[in-house]
Amino acid sequence: MASGSGPESVSDYIKHHLEHNTLELVEGSAFWSINLDSLFYTLLTAVLYLWFFIRVARKAKSGVPGKMQNFVELIIGFVDGQVKDSFKFNSKYVPAMGLSIFVWVFLMNFMDLLPVDLLPAFGMLFGIEYMRVVPSADPNITLGMSFAVFLLIIYFSLVKKSPGGYLKELLTHPFEAEGMVAKVVLVIPNLLLNIVETLAKPISLALRLFGNLYAGELIFILIAAFTLGVGFDAMLSYFASVGGILTLIGQFFVGFLWAVFHILVITLQAFIFMMLSVVYLNMAHEGQH
């Protein structure tokens, strides 16, 4: 941490920032454990999203809208337009889901733009030794969200195509053939390919978001480690020389440039997660691939 009793080395600093505040439900088991920091910030961003949109909705007026109403209407209009282009069926749930995914994932990603040591240092005041504040850099969170999308895919596939129709699709696509014998022979490869394709959707959805945000988080930590990684007292020594001051200026400049670029990354990743979820649900509504 960036405090008077900072880590002994840059390596310790980086490891410290990549460690979760974990609650083990079964002692010694990494599987039966909960990352409390990821869970807390996931719920916090969800509450912020709901609070802000509900607040603006209650104050919305039909006349000249205020700045916040304009901002929210801009987001809703953008998401609604993207969903209509990708989802070809009538649904009152999918556009709302798309809006929630886009804003929620963006807010989780936005946590990566906060100073690396800000919230962890605040947590240290309350005896919290480890704290990671970017939920989307935790594969448990991204896999959990993509699993929810996966359940919706299965649900709509069964409802819109009927269980028999969905089973037929799994057994007869993508390879089609004439004749009973050929169809029976192709059942197994069709089923295997469809299982792989279906499972690949949530896994790729989760790992894409996790990989990009984990990399972004790590780069911010590496930039901070130039000076903060050796503790607050040592960082002050950089002001004692021209070279040290230039190092601090360079660190700020590099961090600023990466933050500006990362704004595009976090927005793009939220958009991709939303669009792929909508596209997958559109496929689940269709009669066949």
Per-residue pLDDT band at 231 (split at 50, 70, 90)? low
Q: Tens digits of per-residue pLDDT, 65-108?
A: 888 999 999 999 999 999 999 998 988 889 999 999 999 999 99
What's this model's pTM, rounded to 2 decimal places?
0.88
Q: Which two tokens stand for residue 131?
A: 């704290």
Question: How far apart are the C-alpha atoms of 18 and 130, rounded to whole Å?
Answer: 8
Catalytic residue flag (residue 212): yes
> Do 139 and 132 meet the contact criterion of CB atoms below 8 Å apart?
no
Query: Rounded to whole angstroms, how far apart are CA atoms 213 and 199?
Result: 22
C-alpha 189/C-alpha 67 separation (Å) is 56
Instruction: For 142-190, write each residue's pLDDT tens digit.
Output: 999 999 999 999 999 999 888 998 888 888 887 776 767 667 778 889 8
How far is the C-alpha of 63 from the C-alpha of 86, rounded, in Å?
32
Contact status, residue 139 vs residue 203, Cβ threshold 8 Å: no
Across 86-103, b (16+ Cβ under 10 Å) vs e yields: bbeeeeeebbebbbbbbb
Give one DSSP letter per residue of 197-254, joined into a string. Answer: HHHHHHHHHHHHHHHHHHHHHHHHHHHHTTTGGG-HHHHHGGGGSHHHHHHHHHHHHH
Rg (CA), the chain: 24
Choose, from 3, 33, 91, 208, the residue flagged as catalytic: 208
- In the chain, where the domains are located: 10-145+203-284
Q: From the candidates 11, 204, 237, 241, which is the catalytic residue?
A: 204
Q: What is the pLDDT of residues 43-70, one digit of tens each?
A: 999 999 999 999 999 988 877 788 899 9
Predicted confidence at residue 3, as pLDDT, reads 40
Q: Which residue of the set 212, 241, 277, 282 is catalytic?
A: 212
Burial 252-284 (b: 16+ CB within 10 A, else e): eeebeebeeebeebbeebbbbbbbbbbebbbeb
Quick one: pLDDT at residue 91? 86
Residue 285's closest CA among 169, 98, 153, 149?
153
